[in-house]
Amino acid sequence: MSGGWNWQHVWDSLPTLLEGFLTVTLLVTVVGSVIAAVLGLVLELLRRSAPAPLAALLTFVVNFIRMTPIVVQLMFAYFALLALDPLTIGIVVFGIHYATYMAEVYRAGIDSVPQGQWEATTALSMSRGRTWRAVIVPQAVRATLPSLGNYVISMFKDTPFLIAITVPDMISNALRYGGDHFRFTEVIVVAGVIFLIASYPTSVLIRKLEQRIAFTT
């Protein structure tokens, strides 16, 4: 194995890394984020509207999932649901895992809505459903958008854990290429650069969206 930086390995490994990025890393992040954002809101609304015993049970489940490493959840689901495709398992596990974090974010956002907003909807005789849909949830989402975006980026960076259930993401492809050619430096650096190129614009986009929502509301 020769030392030094070899640009040829950069160009040779790039198609394999991009394939893993587009077909696994990006897919899991996008679909998992949608699941997490929707399920997290549903969980929080259920905790607030359900009877006390059910709300307590949901809180326990949310805390249990949040306090369990995602790699353990991935492996448990993989061995418990052998009939499912590993990629599907990964998407679902990531979505559920991060939904518990987003539920807590939504909780803080809803709690931050001024009491006057609730009183105003009562004075206007708005139904409970319309109050949540038109007043409370939009304000809560606006307040929590930066935190939700941070969890999306965290999910993106956690996708290498998919290697635990044999899903060949970008990092898995990088390690395989490095093992086949005895060159790890180039592929790991390139994978890191791809992560950076993808995550930095996402953080900027989230900041812009936050400003846009704040301006238009």
pLDDT at 79: 93
Domain ranges of the chain: 7-216
- 10-residue mean pLDDT series, the chain (217 residues): 76 92 94 95 90 92 94 95 90 97 91 78 75 79 82 92 91 90 90 89 76 61
pLDDT (0 to 100) of residue 67: 93
- Report the pLDDT value the prediction gives residue 215, as an integer from 0 to 100: 54
Q: Please tell me whether residue 68 adopts helix, strand or coil conformation.
A: coil
pTM: predicted TM-score of the whole model, two decimal places? 0.86
**Cα 206 to Cα 6: distance, rounded to the nearest angstrom:** 36
What class is the 7-216 domain?
mainly alpha
Residue tagged 């459903």 (tokens): 129
Return the pLDDT at 137.
81
Q: How far apart are CA 164 and CA 159, in angstroms?
A: 10
Radius of gyration of the chain (CA): 21
d(Cα 10, Cα 8) in Å, to the nearest integer? Answer: 5
Query: What contacts 24+ positions apart, CB below 8 Å, involve 187-196?
Result: 187/9, 187/10, 187/13, 187/17, 190/10, 190/13, 190/14, 190/17, 191/17, 194/17, 194/18, 194/21, 194/170, 195/156, 195/157, 195/170
Dihedral through CA 101, CA 107, CA 113, CA 115, nearest 10?
-170
Q: How far apart are CA 172 and CA 13, in angstroms?
A: 12
